[in-house]
Amino acid sequence: MSTIFLDNISKQYGNAPPAVNQISFEAQAGTFTVLLGPSGCGKSTTLRMIAGLDTPTSGRIRIGGRDVTDLPPSQRKIAMVFQSYALFPHLSVRDNILFGLKVRKEPVAQHKPRLDKVAALLGLEKLLDRKPSQLSGGQQQRVALGRAVISEAPVCLMDEPLSNLDAQLRHEMRREIRALQQNLGITMVYVTHDQTEAMSMADQVVLMNGGRIEQNDSPDQLYGTPSSEFSARFIGTPPMNVLQLDDRTRSLLARSGPPAGQAPEAAVTLGIRPEHIRLDPAGLIPATVENVEYFGADSIVIATLGANPNVAVRAAGHLRAERGERIMLHWSPTQQHFFDATGKALRQAPTSS
């Protein structure tokens, strides 16, 4: 089996603060793990240490129960796909895909059947004689995937592999990579800063922040029960609204009945997702429209609620509202999130009946 385990891994470059700071997580065999987080949070460094391209300052890495911390990349049974596809321009698609097999001197008799299988899997059959310069960005990306898949390594590591593609192609390739991972039972660790990519592909999301793990959870849990304000705001488009629970907001919310009353004592902010707020003439929370953004299937109303500007509310269809218009809002107390002064999520007090 090819479960990956990182045990208290740190990486420090010179005297700079640690790029990766005591992180531990497990990527179970045959699952899709995404390392997610803003630029500079340590995702690529973590991936490079799993690959063996960087050495941890401390901690151990195990793959399939074997301690690989001191092994070179070639002995880790992994395949890698990077942002730059790094295809050889002078080689045909066929030779690019076969390159690794030839270098590793795998039996020649295996080359053709494995190439045929990979080409069929990725729809590259008709392109095998072309050079990379004769391919579109999406086709080049498929060749890079083919080169990884043909190795039949049980572990595949990908670092922002879709960032050079346009939005539509990214969407298609997301599905293809996920299907490939599931069909082949690969253990995947995938780096991205794009939360949509993480949410739509992953079994497990390791959300990083400043070299540490902020939250390690399934996409569902990350969305539904963020452990911090950082997690709450990193997931979702637009992100979760975070309202300051100052006196004015508290008194506005108090009018709506139970919600504000349920705020734990230590709460300084209240989080509510745009899709969980309803525009409702019978709602009890007043707000003022600043702007409406129309996206086709839905609209995002940007409103001011008490002293909180830029509160986003998702409404179905094309909502027509004027700037300065007063609207009434409603949300369910069960959709609220509370955070303390450090940004840590607080458990909501139980609803009194």
Q: Which residues bind ligand ADP (CB under 6 A)?
A: 13, 19, 37, 39-45
**Paired strand residues for 7:** 60
Residues 136, 124: Cα–Cα separation, whole Å? 12
Are the CB atoms for 143 and 93 separated by under 8 Å?
A: yes
Nearest distance, CB of residue 148 and ligand ADP, angstroms = 19
- CB nearer to ligand ADP: pick between 42 and 226: 42
Are the CB atoms for 271 and 312 separated by under 8 Å?
A: no
Nearest distance, CB of residue 320 and ligand ADP, angstroms = 41
Are the CB atoms for 34 and 205 separated by under 8 Å?
A: yes
- CB nearer to ligand ADP: pick between 25 and 338: 25
- CB nearer to ligand ADP: pick between 210 and 333: 210
- CB nearer to ligand ADP: pick between 42 and 146: 42
Nearest distance, CB of residue 41 and ligand ADP, angstroms = 4
Nearest distance, CB of residue 44 and ligand ADP, angstroms = 3
Nearest distance, CB of residue 54 and ligand ADP, angstroms = 8
Nearest distance, CB of residue 266 and ligand ADP, angstroms = 31
Radius of gyration of the chain (CA): 24
Nearest distance, CB of residue 276 and ligand ADP, angstroms = 30
Nearest distance, CB of residue 209 and ligand ADP, angstroms = 10
Q: Which residue has the tokens 């069960």?
A: 334
300-306: list long-range contacts, CB under 8 Å, 24+ apart. Answer: 300/238, 300/274, 301/327, 303/327, 303/329, 305/243, 305/249, 305/252, 305/329, 306/243, 306/246, 306/248, 306/249, 306/252
- CB nearer to ligand ADP: pick between 7 and 54: 54
- CB nearer to ligand ADP: pick between 40 and 264: 40
- CB nearer to ligand ADP: pick between 43 and 142: 43
- CB nearer to ligand ADP: pick between 12 and 221: 12
